[in-house]
């Protein structure tokens, strides 16, 4: 299927995509904060700059977009038909970088939880994820 947008329009859209403070990330942070949990955001000194960090518990949470991080088995992780020679290596590099950073973070003694964008469809799903994370944090503190 051909791209419906002009190259200029596509470029404008792509330039507006952010690496932090994404909607799924903000929704999860809001749910965690509402539960009384306090955390740090985007710690640059940690491999992969985790989106949400609980330093005392050494728990890091990555909120990942299914397309950009190629969530295996997810329908949103499809490589575009146009310009595949560009997209395939680009997305593969992202997955490789994620694996490297995840491994480094775990070697430093951090527990990593990955939350996929597709798992956060709807406010009930976000609340369930926040509840599971809250339970995990409480079990670490105990």
Give the three-state DSSP class for 122: coil
Report residue 64: phi and psi, to 5°: -115, 140
Greater confidence, 119 or 81? 119
Residue 17 has pLDDT above 80, yes or no: no
**pLDDT exceeding 90 applies to what percent of the chain?**
76
* pLDDT tens, position by position, 70-113: 999 999 999 888 889 999 999 999 999 999 999 999 999 999 99
- Give the chain's mean pLDDT: 91
Going along the chain from its start, the domains and CATH numbers come out as: 19-141 (3.40.960.10)
3-state secondary structure of 74: coil
User: 34-45 pLDDT, tens per residue?
Assistant: 999 999 998 899
Q: Does residue 130 contact residue 35 with C-beta atoms inside 8 Å? A: yes
Contacts of 64 (CB under 8 A, 6+ apart): 71, 98, 114, 115, 116, 117
Residue with more model confidence, 6 or 79: 79
């Amino acid at each position: 299927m051909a791209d419906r947008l002009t190259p200029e329009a596509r470029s404008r859209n792509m330039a507006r995509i952010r690496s932090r403070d994404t909607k799924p990330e903000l929704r999860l942070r809001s749910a965690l904060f509402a539960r009384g949990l306090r955390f740090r955001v985007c710690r640059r000194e940690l491999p992969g700059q985790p989106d949400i960090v609980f330093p005392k518990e050494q728990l890091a949470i990555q909120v990942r977009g299914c397309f950009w991080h190629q969530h295996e088995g997810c329908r949103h992780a499809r490589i575009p038909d146009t310009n595949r020679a560009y997209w395939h290596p680009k997305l593969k590099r992202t997955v490789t970088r994620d694996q490297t950073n995840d491994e480094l973070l775990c070697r430093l003694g951090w527990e990593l939880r990955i939350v996929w964008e597709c798992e956060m469809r709807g406010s009930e799903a976000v609340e369930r994820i926040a509840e599971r994370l809250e339970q995990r944090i409480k079990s670490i503190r105990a």
